[in-house]
Structure formats: C-alpha cells, structure tokens
Structure 1
Amino acid sequence: MTEAGKNLWRLLRRKQFAGFRFRRQAPIGPYVVDFFCPAAKLIIELDGGQHADRIEHDQRRTDYLTRAGYRVLRVWNNELNENEQGVLTIIGQALGLDETHHAQTH
C-alpha cells in the first residue's frame, strides 16, 4: 500500500468515519478495489501517477463497477496529501453526510 493509501486507511478503518465500515483491498468481480464501504456501495480508488498512463483501463474498470451498482470515487494521492480534510468532505458527501455531521465525527 502506498503512503497515501496508508494515510487514508488510518482515517477510514475501525468505523472511524461516521460509523461506516470500510474494507481495503476488497475483491469485487474481477477487480480488487482500494477501499470499499459495503453499506453505501461506495468504492474509493486512490490513484497515483501511474494511473495517468492507464486511463482507458481505469475507465473500463469504473464502467464495470458502476454497472454492478457501485459508486466509484477516484482520489489522487497528491490530492489526499495536500488537502486531506477536503477529501474527507468529499467522501462524507458521497456517503450522504452533511458537513455538520461529518465535522462532528472527526
């Protein structure tokens, strides 16, 4: 796991994020996703520089997961490193939390 992945996992594990349970490196169909919240059917993919060369592959993967009923949120490593609170706000919104509820959980 990358440093950014370790940092995000530190924030999501053990139901720390508003009580939502996340799994990491979860298999879904033919893919293994970075982070997965089963209750919300939300997948968080943490992308580094190598993904700039894999846009087509990533799009096929996202299309498959979306067709299977999941929501996919892609976050760049540098975005997490530079604006952790902003990324957490986006994740909270994807989970249907308002900013007040999200702020109280951290």
Structure 2
Amino acid sequence: MPRHPYYAWLKPYARRLRNHSTPGEIRLWCEVLRARKFYGYQFNRQLSIGRYIADFACRKLSLVVELDGKSHQYKVEEDRIRDEFMQSLGYRVVRIAESEVMNNLDNVIRTLESYLPENKSE
C-alpha cells in the first residue's frame, strides 16, 4: 500500500467535495464502490493524497479513480501533473468520463475489473 503525505488543511475541502458530489460520483459510489461492493475492496471518497484530493482511492489496490466531467477538457496539463504525482507514490490512476458512468456503467465496471489482481474478477 502506498504511503503518502497527509495535509490536514485539505480535510474540510474533501468533506465539502463529498457533500457536493457530481451525479456520476454518486452513482459510482452508491452502485459500485461503497461498502466493499467491488470484490470486497475498500474505496475511500475524496481522499487527500499529498496536496491533491482523489475522487476515489483504494489503498490495497494502489488505485485512484478519477471521474472527468466537462471541465477536465481544459485541465489536461494539470491532470497530467496530478497523475504523475500519484504514480510517483505507487498509485495507478484510471480516468473515467462522468458521461460513461451515467450511460454505460457496465463498461466502467469492466474497466475497473482490469485493475484487479489476477483471478479476482471471476
């Protein structure tokens, strides 16, 4: 499991993000990632990792799941830097379009399954 710096000053911001989640975040959380529904793995919402806040993270899988809405088309460089930082800590980062969560959740699940250790998706 990756270890990462923790900044307490981000906690109120993370809480605010959890309380104002996007429809895609709510759907992915409630239907797939919450309460160890995804193959028994624990995911956290709006987890602070260094000076960033990941939409969803599973420490055991070393996996960060980022949902990208329309605003991310203007944040390509910022997202690249953020992804590189998380990867430097040992996380794999998967970016999923919010529209994909809303319109094709089965495909999103298959994508996430590809990050499972072998034989866990059976």
1:41-95 Cα offsets, whole Å, 9 max, x none, are: 1000001000000001000000111111100000000111121001001101112
What TM-score comes out, normalization by structure 1 length? 0.90
CA contact (8 A) 1:36 1:44 kept: yes
CA contact (8 A) 2:65 2:93 kept: yes
CA contact (8 A) 1:25 1:33 kept: yes
CA distance in 2, matches of 1:100, 1:27: 28
Q: Paired residue for 1:33? A: 54
CA contact (8 A) 2:45 2:57 kept: yes
Superposed counterparts of 1:4-83, under 5 Å: 4-10=24-30, 11-83=32-104
2:111 matches 1:90? yes
CA distance in 1, matches of 2:92, 2:45: 16
**Identity rate of aligned residues, in percent?**
34
CA distance in 1, matches of 2:74, 2:117: 32
Displaced runs of 4 or more, over 3 A: 97-100
Matched residue type, 1:27: S
Q: Paired residue for 2:5? A: none
